[in-house]
């Protein structure tokens, strides 16, 4: 039997409110299928299943506030037979949990109790056979004196600010950042882009941003110490590069979901997917894998941004690439002064995992990659 | 389609990208991208929207001519009469 838990949705989202189930008991589920919609401070997130299976029981109900990692449903693995009754299986699950007394507590209730410091022995159970349900624990927690219950912000904007603050604070507290920067000439890249765009209708036009994202993904292959996660005092390098794109939301706030497979997709596809991603971010509708899978983040402030940006790494990632606006700058070349469009790129990196020398090499190679945009589609 | 109609369509397209703008405070003689915070993707989506609604495909080389709202309306008006003449 599989406990389907609410997956991580990025460092700054530790819980969500279930909006609706897309499955019911008895349904077959495939890995990657959207099974529920969960509301967070930043977006309504389509939760994807990590398993193939059949739905045995839905534990959470719409309206429930669910911490990440809490069981939401029970699934049977393919080929598995269901247990005698579901109450019996809940009892089996709670019996294996580390609680001193034998109390029947649903997995969701147990997790909530843990998070909110509730003594389960004091909670009256209203579930089957006196089992303690999530509602029972919530009711108990809310009835406690105000001092022990956290305030619930009402506006999404306030809540979003709070989660961003928590993530950024955690990043600066835990990650020893170092910074390197490089001014990258963009004459070649922009000439290639202009030429590529003359034959394209406005609907197919490529922006410099996709060249930057592609170049980062390609260059990152050779720098595994910048691509992965630092968790439990250890770094693990990620197999693939999944670039998180920092996107600012019109009503304020920031989100950095993954734009998948930038390395392997043709530029046209990257452009289409980027536009679609931005649209869904602004509409507040993303998939859980987009939030949990970025292995590095790129922040491109664009043509209305500043000259350069030194960003804050988004944990548990270990690096962040920042781009300022492309501007015409004086440039010395072959003993002559000319005007060159250029961009200031920066790397913020985790000094526990990499050193300045490697960080600097990454930027040098990134610059070199951007001098040959015609190679991107090979 | 006269200038006023084009103005209506342009503002409607802008609103689909930046829903928070207030039409009566929008000045057509000041740079548009200073009044409405549009990044490069927003700008592109704006042009795609204009293409969809007015059938005008604006080449990159003409972007520099579209600074104010008035510039945009005049450009579209001329482009449309060219299209209907040919």
The angle at the Cα of B28, spanning B25 to B31, to the nearest 5 degrees, equals 100
Q: Do A207 and B57 touch (CB under 8 A)?
A: no
* Number of other residues whose CB lies within 10 A of the CB of residue A28: 13
Pairing of strands A243-245, A247-248: unpaired
- Taking an 8 Å cut-off on Cβ atoms, the answer to whether B44 and A197 are in contact is no
Q: How far is B85 from chain A (nearest CA, A)?
A: 21
CA distance A126 to A45: 31
* DSSP character string of B25-46: G--TTSBHHHHS---HHHHHHH
Over the stretch B22-35, which tens digit does the pLDDT of each residue have?
888 899 999 998 89
Name A131's Cβ contacts closer than 8 Å, sequence gap at least 6: A87, A90, A91, A94, A104, A105, A106, A125
CA distance A15 to A66: 5
Contact at 8 Å (CB) between A58 and A41?
Answer: no
Residue A337's DSSP bridge partners are A332
Length of chain B: 86
Residues 287-326 of A with CB under 8 A from B: 302-304
Residue A202 to residue B20, Cβ atoms within 8 A: no
Which neighbouring-strand residues pair with A53?
A29
What ipTM was reported for this prediction?
0.86
Residue of A157, A194, A202, A327 to mutate, interface with B, max B Cβ within 10 Å: A202
- In tens, the pLDDT along A214-225 reads 999 999 999 999
pLDDT tens for A53-102 read 999 999 999 988 999 989 999 999 888 887 766 555 555 555 444 333 44
Whether B19 has its CB under 8 Å from any CB of chain A: the answer is yes
Distances (CA, A) of A121 to A106, A131, B37: 13, 11, 55
**Paired residues of A64 in beta bridges:** none
User: Taking CA atoms, what residue in B is nearest to A305?
Assistant: B39
Per DSSP, helices labelled H in A144-292 are: 156-174, 187-198, 208-220, 267-283, 288-292
Q: What is the pTM for the complete model shown?
A: 0.79
In this predicted model, what pLDDT tens digit does every residue of A326-378 receive, in sequence order? 999 999 999 999 999 999 999 999 999 999 999 999 999 999 999 999 999 76
Mean pLDDT value across chain A? 87
Percentage of chain A with pLDDT > 70? 89
Contact B41 A207 (CB under 8 A): yes
């Amino acid at each position: 039997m599989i406990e389907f838990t609410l997956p991580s949705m990025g460092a700054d989202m530790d819980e969500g409110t279930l909006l609706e189930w897309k499955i019911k008991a008895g349904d077959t589920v495939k890995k990657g299928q959207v099974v529920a919609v969960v509301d967070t401070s930043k977006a309504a997130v389509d939760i994807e299943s990590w398993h193939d299976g059949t739905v045995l029981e839905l534990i959470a109900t719409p309206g429930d506030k669910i911490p990440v990692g809490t069981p939401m449903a029970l699934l049977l693995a393919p080929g598995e037979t269901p247990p005698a009754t579901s109450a019996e299986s809940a009892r089996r699950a709670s019996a294996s949990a580390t609680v001193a007394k034998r109390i029947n507590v649903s997995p969701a209730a147990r997790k909530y109790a843990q998070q909110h410091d509730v003594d389960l022995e004091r909670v009256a159970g209203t579930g089957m056979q006196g089992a303690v349900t999530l509602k029972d624990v919530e009711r108990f927690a809310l009835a406690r004196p105000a001092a022990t219950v956290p305030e619930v912000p009402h506006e999404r904007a306030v809540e979003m600010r709070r989660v961003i603050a928590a993530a950024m604070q955690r990043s600066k507290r835990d990650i020893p950042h170092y910074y390197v920067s490089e001014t990258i000439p963009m004459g070649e890249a922009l000439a290639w882009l202009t030429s590529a765009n003359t034959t394209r209708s406005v609907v197919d036009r490529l922006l410099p941003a996709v060249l930057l994202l592609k170049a980062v993904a390609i260059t990152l292959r050779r720098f595994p110490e910048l691509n992965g996660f630092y968790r439990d005092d250890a770094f693990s390098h990620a197999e693939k590069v999944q670039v998180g794109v920092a996107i600012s939301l019109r009503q304020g706030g920031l989100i950095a979901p993954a734009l998948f497979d930038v390395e392997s997709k043709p530029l046209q596809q990257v452009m289409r997917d980027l536009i679609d991603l931005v649209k869904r971010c602004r509409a507040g509708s993303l998939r859980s894998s987009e939030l949990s899978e970025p292995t590095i983040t790129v922040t491109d402030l664009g043509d209305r941004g500043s000259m350069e940006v030194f960003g804050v790494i988004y944990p548990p990632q270990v690096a962040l690439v920042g781009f300022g606006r492309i501007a015409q700058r004086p440039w010395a070349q072959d003993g002559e002064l000319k005007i060159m469009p250029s961009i200031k790129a920066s790397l913020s990196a985790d000094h526990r995992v990499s050193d300045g020398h490697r960080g600097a090499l990454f930027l040098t190679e990134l610059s070199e990659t951007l001098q040959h945009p015609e190679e991107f589609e090979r | 389609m006269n200038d006023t109609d084009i103005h209506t369509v342009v503002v409607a397209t802008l609103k689909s990208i930046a829903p928070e703008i207030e039409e009566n405070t929008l000045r057509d003689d000041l740079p548009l991208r200073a009044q409405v915070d549009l990044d490069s993707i927003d700008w592109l989506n704006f042009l795609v929207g204009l293409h969809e609604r007015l059938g005008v495909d604006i080449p990159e080389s003409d972007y520099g001519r579209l600074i104010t709202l008035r510039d945009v309306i005049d450009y579209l008006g001329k482009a449309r009469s060219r299209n209907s003449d040919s």
